[in-house]
Each structure stands twice: as C-alpha cells, then as structure tokens.
Structure 1
Amino acid sequence: MPQPTTRARRTGHPGYSETLPRQPESAATARRLLRTACAVWGLDDLAENGALIVSELVANAVQHARRESIRVVVERTTVLTVRVAVADFSRTRPVEREAGDEDEDGRGLTLVAALAADWGTDERRWGKIVWADLEEQK
C-alpha cells in the first residue's frame, strides 16, 4: 500500500498536523505523529495513552465521516498538556455508549474518556473536531 504523500506540518502554536486518507491504515501514521510530538516536547509519558486515543479517534472518523480525508492535529496547549484532535467533514457528533459483552465495537469513546483528562467535540460549519487532552502528572 502506498504511503500518504502528505507531510507533518508545524501548526504555528507548538503543534503538528497532517491530512490523511480516511482509511484504517491512517491510524498508524497518526500514532507516529503523536509519538514524535511527545518526544520532541519531552512528554514521552503521554505517548502510550495518546497513541490509543488517536487510534480510536481516527477509527471513528474512518467509520462515520464523509469525504476522503481527515486531519489529525497534535498541539501542546500547556507545558504539561497535549491535545490530540481529529477533524472530519461530518457534523454527526460522536456518542459514548455502553457496549455489551458480545459487541465487537462501541468501546472506543469509553476508552478515550478513561484515558484522557478531558475530551469533547467542537462543531464547525463544515464538520467537527473531536479532541482529547492528555496531561502529564508532576
């Protein structure tokens, strides 16, 4: 499978972003972007949970969004806080739900809520941004 031709860009405010194809394989690229940002900022302790969170956010966008691309943004919002966000062109808000024992999916946002300091959705006229904040403990 060909690698995406996009490149991670600094977003100005300490952060990185990348536009990716709306495909399951994009989760791996998003995890690399998150891990790289955390390493650059010296926040390696956030990388593991951040990788799980960004994987879930990308998976939701792949499953529910419209159009062919998504945007992943990793920003350092405070000295000890990293925000990971996935933007897509769907206005449908994600809903945390309780999955049954036999369900194969439906646990992603519960996992995000458990691992993140906070999470939410920002609506835009073109779609939405689903984000999660990771905080390093002193």
Structure 2
Amino acid sequence: MPETATRAGGTGHPGETSPREPVSAARARQLVRAALSVWNLSDLADDGALIVSESVTNAVQHTRRDSIRVVMDRPDRVRARIGVVDFPKARPEREVRGLDDDGGRGLASVGEPAEERGTDPLPWGKRVWAELRKAHG
C-alpha cells in the first residue's frame, strides 16, 4: 500500500513510496495532479503526469529494490519540481525512441515540457527530477 507523507510545518511537499511495479505510475500521476491542483498549478497537470509516469516507469525497469519514491516540491508559486527516488546510483541515460517503438518515450519526453531537469546523487541512490513553470499571462 502506498504511503503518502507531507513535511512537517504544513509546507505541502507531498511524497509517496510505492512498490516497484508498473501500476505505481498511475498512482504517481494521481499524486502529481492532486498536488498541482492544491498549489493552483493545474495547468501543469498534463506535463507533470507525463514526467512522473515516464520517470516511474524508468525506475521500475532499471532498479532492483522493492520500492520507489515520488517526491514533489514547490520552489515558488509558479514552479513545481517532480522527482523519483530510487536506489541505484547510476545516472539515467536518455534514450531516443521513434513514434512507432514499443514502450514509452523515456527521459526524452521528460525533457520536452521541463524547464529544468537533473539528477541529485544521494548516499544510497539518486533523485531524478524535472521542474515545470506556470506560463505567465
């Protein structure tokens, strides 16, 4: 069963630990959409769902541990950062796929809507993240 936690102090930074299974991508999309709605960033929901779906799928395929963790942060009122934490320290590699290829489009699709993206090393693994910014207007 997934576990959802918010940081102390009511800062609204949701996270969820899920089993390393393909169905966890659907739950991660729900978490991202809900957090973006609460943060009044609903216009980022489709891009956020794409980012987390591809990131979770990548972690499910390439990690060996039993769980992965989706984390979100709101650096300011117009930006949201979506990350997936897993245990291997190896940095992800971008794989370019054609439109007719089976499977997702991988990290290439994460980079398209993201304003910034990166990988933060952790003592026991890594956090792969992408940041979205609300359009002004």
Where do 1:63-82 residues align within 5 Å?
63-82=61-80
How far apart are 1:124 and its partner, in Å? Answer: 1.4
- Correspondence for 2:3: 7
Deviation track 1:17-74 (CA, whole Å, cap 9, x = no partner) reads 0110000000011011101101111110011110011000000000001210001001
Which residue, out of 34, 42, 46, partners 2:32?
34
The number of equivalent residue pairs is 134
**Cα distance change, pair 101–56 in 1 and its aligned pair in 2 (3 A):** closer
Report the secondary structure of 1:53's partner residue: helix
Unaligned runs of 5+ in 1: none
In structure 1, distance between residues paired with 2:101 and 2:20: 24
- For 1:31, the aligned partner's letter is R
The answer to whether the 8 Å contact 2:54/2:104 transfers is: no
2:84 corresponding residue in structure 1: 86
For the residue of structure 2 that corresponds to 1:8, the secondary structure is strand
TM-score normalised to the size of structure 1?
A: 0.90
* 1:22 matched residue in structure 2: 20
Structure 1 residues 40, 91: closer, same or farther in 2, change over 3 A?
A: same
Give unpaired runs (5+ residues) of structure 2. none
Q: Which residue of 2 aligns with 1:112?
A: 110
One-letter identity of the residue aligned with 2:106: G
Aligned ranges for residues 37-76 of structure 1 at < 5 Å?
37-76=35-74
Distance in 2 of aligned mates of 1:24 and 1:118? 25
Distance 2:80 2:17 in 1: 19
Aligned residues of 1:96 and 1:110 also touching (Cα < 8 A): yes
How big is the alpha-carbon RMSD for the aligned residues of Structure 1 and Structure 2? 1.5
Q: Is the 8 A contact 1:66 1:88 kept in 2?
A: no
How far 1:106 moved relative to its partner?
Answer: 6.6
